[in-house]
Amino acid sequence: MPAIPLLYQSTLDTLRANTTRAAIINAHADPLLKDISRQCAELTFLQPFKPAYDELLRLGFNCSHRLESKFELILLIPSKNKQQTLGWMSDAMHHLTDGGKLMVACANNHGAKSYENALDKLAGNIGSSSKSKCRLFSARKSSAFNTELAEQWKKEAEPRHIESHGLISQPGLFSWERADIGSQLLLKHLPADLHGMGMDLCCGYGLLSERLLKTCPDIEVLHLVEAERLALECAEQNTQPWHAKIEAHWLDAAANTLPLKIDWIICNPPFHTGQEQDITLGQSIIANGCKSLKRGAKLYMVANRKLPYEATLDRMLMSHRIIVQDQGFKVIEAIKGAGRAIRQGRER
C-alpha cells in the first residue's frame, strides 16, 4: 500500500522533535513508525483489525480502542468503506486542538479524490499533493470546521439497527446492510439440532450465531471469533439474550490460537486482505479452525464455488462432502478424524 509509507514519510518531514502529540487512525505497521515515535512527545494508535493490531504489537507499539484526548496531529488511512472513513474524519477533527492538523493519504484507485473533496467540505482550506499514484491531503482545525457535517458523518458511521436483517451493524463490516447470500444458504442447510460447544468462526456482526441461538436451544456454549473488533462488539449485542452461553474472542482466525475441544464450527471465511483478493486467507482460517475440533466433530462452511478449500480439508485429514451448490456458492460439511483413507474407501 504505497499510501501508507507516503503518509508516514510526509509526517516525518514535518515533525519537530518531541513537540507533537499525535495519533494514527487505522494504523498499519511500517518501519517508519519507529522514527515517527521517536519524534513525537506521544503517539497513539487506533487499529480495530486484529492482524494489523498484532503487527503493531510486534513492532513494540500498543493500540487504543478510541481517541480520548486532544492531539496536534492526526494521521488517517481510509478503510474500504466510505461511510466508516468519513466517520473517522469527523472523529479526528473533533479530537484535534485548535490549529491541529489532519493528514490523509489514499491511493487514487481507492477513492482518493472523493476523500480529498470530503475533507475540503469538512474543514476547508486543504493542502494536497500527488505521488506514486496516491494523493496526500491535509487540513487544519479552524473556524471553517463544519461541526454540523461532522455530526452527520459521525452518526452515519455508528452501529445501528438494520431493518433488512433485524440486527445491529455498522458501515465497514462485511455485508453490514443485508444478510449475504452465502450466509443465508449456509443457514438453510445447517442441522436443526446443533448442541454442545460450538464456534462461529469469522462471526462478523453475529448473523449466523443469532439465528442458531434462536433455533437450537441445546447449544451450551458458543464461541464468537472475529478479527474485526467493531464487528465483534455488534455480535455481542446481537446475541445478548443468550449472553450466558456466549464467549467472545477478538482473534486473528488465521494465525492466533483458537478455543479447543469444539463439537462443531460454522464458518463463512473471508477471502480478501484489504482491497485485494487473498485465497490463502480462507485456507489458513479453515486449517486453523480444524485444530479446534474434537475427533468426530463437524465443520459447516460456505464459500464461493470456485474457491479451492477442499484441498485444505484433505490436508487436515477430514472427510468432507458438498451439501449443496447454489447461486454461485457451495456449502460443505466436513468431519474431523474420519481421515482420507475412509473417504477414499467410500469412493471405491
Considering the domain architecture, whether residues 191 and 83 belong to the same structural domain is answered as no
- The answer, yes or no, to whether residue 266 has pLDDT greater than 60, is yes
Tens digit of pLDDT for each residue in 268-317?
999 755 556 678 999 999 999 999 999 999 999 999 999 989 999 988 87
**Summary mean pLDDT of the chain:** 93
CATH code of the domain containing 36: 3.40.50.150
Considering the domain architecture, whether residues 166 and 214 belong to the same structural domain is answered as yes
* Domain termination site, one of 116, 137, 157: 157
pLDDT at 341: 37
Quote the DSSP letter at residue 11.
H
Considering the domain architecture, whether residues 93 and 189 belong to the same structural domain is answered as no
pLDDT at 318: 76
* Cα–Cα distance measured from residue 260 to residue 333, given in angstroms and rounded to the nearest whole number: 19
Q: Residue 207, CB half-sphere, CA atoms under 13 Å: how many?
A: 25
Backbone angles phi, psi at 341, to 5 degrees: -65, -40
- The answer, yes or no, to whether residue 139 has pLDDT greater than 70, is yes
Considering the domain architecture, whether residues 259 and 204 belong to the same structural domain is answered as yes
* Cα–Cα distance measured from residue 303 to residue 322, given in angstroms and rounded to the nearest whole number: 11
Domain count within the chain: 2
Which candidate, 131, 16, 9, 134, places its Cα nearest to that of 75? 9
Host domain of residue 27? 3-157
Q: Of 17-21, 263-267, 337-341, which has the strongest mean pLDDT?
A: 263-267
- The answer, yes or no, to whether residue 347 has pLDDT greater than 60, is no
- The answer, yes or no, to whether residue 17 has pLDDT greater than 80, is no
User: Could you give the percent of the chain with pLDDT greater than 90?
Assistant: 86
- The answer, yes or no, to whether residue 95 has pLDDT greater than 50, is yes
Tens digit of pLDDT for each residue in 171-181?
999 999 999 99
Q: Residue 181, CB half-sphere, CA atoms under 13 Å: how many?
A: 9
Considering the domain architecture, whether residues 142 and 175 belong to the same structural domain is answered as no
> Is there a contact between 173 and 228 (Cβ–Cβ < 8 Å)?
yes
Residues in the chain, total = 348
